[in-house]
Structure 1
């Protein structure tokens, strides 16, 4: 199972698409690791510099419709290669969301008001997230405050996460 704890990268925008997560011109790379330097390269967001802002982050908190656009596994792969194993958003493009779980990553939807609160309390700080899978909660903390947030995850998606993805899950079951 992957690590679902760490520092948070806040991306304050909706509709971040798979071309922004990993530009199509890199889809011919032969390994997942070769994708690593191009993560979020084309994301247009004031003040965001992928070369500086991604390093050391394990969690993304963003707005609605994350992963829209082309249905490619490369988008979760490039996040995984960069150590980002969990994305929290208002909602996700359906195929992107399932590709995350198939890779053993987590795509967790929270209500817009909760996402707003996360941005208000923690964006722009050195915020960290700790995941308690058994109790289905996150604890988000910075130097000033700490808050626990419940989340939901389907039982099958949870099994995929615990197994490390679809391939490992299938190997253990079939």
Structure 2
């Protein structure tokens, strides 16, 4: 996982509430175990509508998505986080997130930033013309107009995201202790060793 200390740039002012994982990445795209190429299927049903915001050149290359309440509800598909990442989204700002989506986002290095509806409404306006900055160290979202909105995040998640640590990295950091334990068990319980044929 790549460290994330700051995300800045244009944001897509999407704003819809109750966007479930089937809208984020339709079931037809779930036949793959690869993360690559899923961005093409992200928001496919919305992208089929003429004039949709995801294909608006104004937001090409946007790294932030501003959404409505209860983002990522529905099934537990991790493909939703993969699809957002593959389309270039590094952070989602919304009033609330599904617990499972929030967990999947964290495990894939995506920022799921909860802010009050008033702050989201203001950021939706700013996103139409100007960039937004998310700073993980100060736990704040700012705009060029001196807006500053602070958010809360579990300190463990904050540190993992800022240091690029996923569950495998955290386990590997304990490799010396694991090896010591394995050697001790091997010495104390030799009868568990496999018998050579």
- TM above 0.5, yes or no, is yes
Partner of 1:154: 154
* Runs of at least 5 residues in structure 1 that lack an aligned partner in the other structure: none
Q: CA deviation at 1:33?
A: 1.0
SS in 2 for 1:42: helix
Map 1:64-143 onto structure 2 (within 5 A): 64-119=69-124, 121-125=125-129, 127-141=130-144
- Provide the aligned C-alpha RMSD in A: 2.2
Partner of 2:20: 17
Q: What is the aligned residue count?
A: 169
Which structure features the higher share of helix residues?
2
Which structure features the higher share of strand residues?
1
Rounded Cα–Cα distance in structure 1 between residues aligned with 2:60 and 2:32:
21
Rounded Cα–Cα distance in structure 2 between residues aligned with 1:35 and 1:165:
23
TM-score (norm 2): 0.76
Runs of 4+ aligned structure 1 residues displaced above 6 Å come to: none
TM-score (norm 1): 0.85
* Runs of at least 5 residues in structure 2 that lack an aligned partner in the other structure: 175-197
CA contact (8 A) 1:101 1:165 kept: no
Choose 1 or 2 for highest CA Rg.
2
CA contact (8 A) 2:14 2:53 kept: no
Rounded Cα–Cα distance in structure 2 between residues aligned with 1:152 and 1:68:
20
